[in-house]
Amino acid sequence: MTDKKINKIVLAYSGGLDTTVILHWLKNTYDSEVIAFTADIGQDHDPELVKSRANSIGASKIIIEDLKEDFTKDYIFQMLKANTLYEGEYLLGTSIARPLISKRLVEIAEEEGADAIAHGATGKGNDQIRFEIGSYSLNPEIEVIAPWRTWDYSSRADLVEYCKQHQIEIESSPDEPLYSTDENLLHTSYEGEILEDPSVEAPEEIWQRTSSLENAPDKAERISISFEEGLAISINNEKLSSAEILSRLNELAGMHGIGRLDLVENRFTGMKSRGCYETPGGTILLKAHRAIESITLDSQAGHLKDEIMPKYAQLIYDGFWWSPEREALQALIDKTQEHVTGSVDLSLYKGNVTILGRSSEFSLYDSKIVTFEDDENAYNQADATGFIKINSLRLKQFARRKRKTNR
């Protein structure tokens, strides 16, 4: 805890158990004014309930901002241009939300003349790092309060007891599993409780956004997604905002059971953690984006993108969105997307996303060259002889040495 007197704090407030307790605790511990800030990034929440709860605990001000379009266009879609997956599977639904929330926390603190910002991330997870590194990257002098690292409570059950002691109303029963969840327009995550045993199957009831394969429609649905410079701009030729596109795809994918992931991942803090994720619309977009790149992106530019993607994903996962290296990689990625424009036809069926076709005015695919039929001299097959000889020269030399020395 800082020795400096803190008179005003901006808290990243969700209205859930953790941040509700934190709001009350901050007021009592620091004897300070607490501003509750809620970023609406597509989570299923009732703004009036959030306001009412924050008011009842004594927040001096409640700020709720609709950031869904900013979140989708400036963060999610920028990330998807890189076909980003952490450890080959995770679409970074939680990670990608933290830079925007950190940015607004810092900006509101400056606008309101606050002495500090606070968050509800635990001392075991990645979010504490993401929030704080992001905040320090934007304002090196900002004071950050992380209650989970300083108070005497060690579990969410402790927080339920805190609410009872202080007569704070919460929507939780003693028998209800206290899953730790995070939700936004891109995904929903579930951790804790029975999921902490990686050998146990995730209960069907945890999945809130996607149908089971058994309950998904028995008929495939065909859709078309159009892209412009790597960004999705329309569905079935209907132009929509970025947030509207992701919302529509979430509905379609969820209905068809697309986007579930059960993953044991490596946290930045050094421990392994099991998370169950639903990323319905993002799963479709990833597949569609790779499909349009397959005909518009130069092969070596595409291979380079694939090589740097794990590093790019790691930076986002670890909380380094505002770092110079992430910005440098983003510039490279953006350059590769200049001609990634066109349309992709897809089929959605029982958890599967199948590419049916792709087309673009910038396509590098030339049927005259690749055809197995008469190419009318578009390609001279004899040219392959020299190409093969040049590329095999070093391997021949390597083989000769190996045969000569037996090593």
| Host H or E run for residue 402 | helix 383-405
Query: Residue 201 carries which DSSP code?
Result: P
3 state DSSP class of 127: helix
CA distances from 198 to 18, 25, 116, 207, 261 (A): 25, 34, 38, 17, 13
Distance of CA 10 to the CA centre of its chain: 24
Return the exposure string of 228-253: e unless at least 16 CB atoms fall within 10 Å of the residue's CB, then b.
eebbbbbbeeeebebbbbbbbbbebb
Q: How many residues would you count in the chain?
A: 407
Query: Residue 263 carries which DSSP code?
Result: E
3 state DSSP class of 353: strand
3 state DSSP class of 238: strand
Catalytic residue annotation: 18, 98, 127, 180
Q: Distance (Å, rounded) from C-alpha 92 to C-alpha 358?
A: 26
3 state DSSP class of 181: strand
Q: Distance (Å, rounded) from C-alpha 12 to C-alpha 103?
A: 11
Contact 231, 77 (CB under 8 A): yes
Closest CA to 309 of 130, 127, 99, 92: 92
Q: Phi first, then psi: what are they for 65, rounded to 5°? A: -120, 135
How many Å from the N-terminal Cα to the C-terminal Cα in the chain?
63
